[in-house]
Structure 1
């Protein structure tokens, strides 16, 4: 994982401060940006999640208390990322299971001698692009976020992320990556959901990525990028781009690309080889009058 050493002088020059209460993150231009990384769910909590999600299937490793939170302090508007909401997205989409060759049928985390038909999306593919809430009187309530108070709304737009600006050599004031869930598909691939955040003097930027590789069969990449500049700290606008890509190993081999799973360990490198299935842009206007 990338390690970012931040100079205290750079923080001060950018008007940013670290949290003084032990939280891991940064406060800058009216935003509190925090990451929390915890261990995987214990058995009792896992059972509770299965009951709430009405399923007996969850990824091997679910980091249920890990999260990324970006809160606009004045309005209480909060964008956050967590495993439970992502798995709600998995349940909602309910994709059919990816078909694998007969010789490679698996019974996940059960008796390998049992031959069964997989009747659920064992890849845990999710349409999740993040969660939005409003924390009313957050300071008085200890910073708790109330979903009941949520009325934030993403609007479709034609604007695109400013790739040139994001590539500029600004100091990185804060960087972190949070794993939300992961499954190695019984050693037959990988299913991984992560979120990364980067904070610069002019803006914050994040990447939510779902990466799937079913060895010899399919690769799927779902990226959600968000960017917010600090030009308007009272009523900021968050721009969100979602791009979903996927391809079969057969289709990639037909184009002359490798057919071995080992050639596809880094989604960032091979993303451009995967054709786009869906691409859309949206924006969220944060109002301090909410």
Structure 2
């Protein structure tokens, strides 16, 4: 399937159910996982976002009402992925602008006689790894006091990616675009999140991908995995791996790769050739 909920037979065997009322998502093993895809922000909403973020720059296409939400019903722990929080991360990190060739600079002009000074990160690179919150219903509020937001801690335990290639049925899959910019036809800046739910657990990939033609490739990947325990009373443990990779096109050509921009149109094909700049492995243990 391209996206959406899997076959009803597979859902029943896994003890899962599709969300009601035409919502796109699934309930399984104490989790409610839901994706929401909406159109890009209109001009009024863009101005409101610019004011809130303290900037006059946003990506060409911001899917401001699109999101992915994963709620653990018993604890109220909610992970969510959205464009606004990602752009807050971009604004706070404030990387220097990527140097582009003179020919490309010409295209970053608002008027034929006025060149924009690139004094901000026009690639919208973000360190965003997702957002966390505690979302309690009325009954839970009566028993919980002073709840704190979920906290990620560094660990050595890695996600077993090999186990994810098994022949398990996919009960739910979707991809949500959070924002995109074609860099004035000089490449692409894209932030997406994908989720896959199997009978044994769920896995997601939040990916920021940047390609500045003839200049740079950059990937910031965040993978989160939750394995369903056989013990229904056990609280879930989430593993998160974040990795930042990048390389200049010149350095990739020096490795023997072609200079043609078409070579770099698929980040999956090139990611293994990109050196790692930084990485982090973390664990989130949800408490009652």
TM-score range with shorter-chain normalisation?
over 0.9
Distance in 2 (alpha carbons) for counterparts of 1:139 and 1:18: 24
Q: How does 1:249-264 map to 2 (within 5 A)?
A: 249-264=249-264
Q: How does 1:93-112 map to 2 (within 5 A)?
A: 93-106=93-106, 108=108, 110-112=110-112
Secondary structure in structure 1 of the residue aligned to 2:114: coil
- 2:277 matches 1:277: yes
Please list the CA deviations of residues 180-239 of structure 1 after superposition, one character each: whole Å capped at 9, or x if unmatched. 000000000000000000000010000000000000111100100000011055411100
- 2:65 matches 1:65: yes
Q: Give the structure 2 partner of residue 27 of structure 1.
A: 27
Following TM superposition, the consecutive aligned residue runs of length 4 or more in structure 1 with deviations greater than 4 angstroms are 106-109, 138-141
Say if 1:64 and 1:83, in contact at 8 Å, map to a contact too: yes
Secondary structure in structure 1 of the residue aligned to 2:179: strand
- 2:246 matches 1:246: yes
TM-score relative to the length of structure 2 = 0.93
Q: Give the structure 2 partner of residue 43 of structure 1.
A: 43
- Cα root mean square deviation, aligned: 1.9
Please report how far the alpha carbon of residue 110 of structure 1 lies from its aligned counterpart in structure 2 after TM superposition.
2.3
Q: Give the structure 1 partner of residue 76 of structure 2.
A: 76
Say if 2:237 and 2:283, in contact at 8 Å, map to a contact too: yes
Pairing partner for 1:161 from 159, 162, 167: 159
Alpha carbons of structure 1 residues 71 and 251: separation in structure 2 relative to 1, 3 Å = same
Please report how far the alpha carbon of residue 261 of structure 1 lies from its aligned counterpart in structure 2 after TM superposition.
1.1
Please list the CA deviations of residues 77-127 of structure 1 after superposition, one character each: whole Å capped at 9, or x if unmatched. 000100000000101110000011223214647225422320000000000
Secondary structure in structure 1 of the residue aligned to 2:110: coil
For structure 2, list consecutive stretches of 5 or more residues without a partner in the other structure: none
Distance in 2 (alpha carbons) for counterparts of 1:55 and 1:166: 40
Q: Give the structure 2 partner of residue 144 of structure 1.
A: none
Please report how far the alpha carbon of residue 2 of structure 1 lies from its aligned counterpart in structure 2 after TM superposition.
3.1
Q: How does 1:161-180 map to 2 (within 5 A)?
A: 161-180=159-178
Please report how far the alpha carbon of residue 21 of structure 1 lies from its aligned counterpart in structure 2 after TM superposition.
2.5
Alpha carbons of structure 1 residues 154 and 5: separation in structure 2 relative to 1, 3 Å = closer
Distance in 2 (alpha carbons) for counterparts of 1:106 and 1:235: 55
Count, aligned residues: 282
Please report how far the alpha carbon of residue 262 of structure 1 lies from its aligned counterpart in structure 2 after TM superposition.
1.2
Please report how far the alpha carbon of residue 61 of structure 1 lies from its aligned counterpart in structure 2 after TM superposition.
0.1
Please report how far the alpha carbon of residue 166 of structure 1 lies from its aligned counterpart in structure 2 after TM superposition.
0.9
Please report how far the alpha carbon of residue 164 of structure 1 lies from its aligned counterpart in structure 2 after TM superposition.
1.8
- 2:145 matches 1:132: no
Distance in 1 (alpha carbons) for counterparts of 2:78 and 2:92: 23
Of 53-62 and 254-263, more deviation after overlay is shown by: 254-263
Please report how far the alpha carbon of residue 131 of structure 1 lies from its aligned counterpart in structure 2 after TM superposition.
0.3
Alpha carbons of structure 1 residues 150 and 89: separation in structure 2 relative to 1, 3 Å = farther
Say if 2:108 and 2:116, in contact at 8 Å, map to a contact too: no
Alpha carbons of structure 1 residues 149 and 119: separation in structure 2 relative to 1, 3 Å = farther
Q: Give the structure 2 partner of residue 188 of structure 1.
A: 186
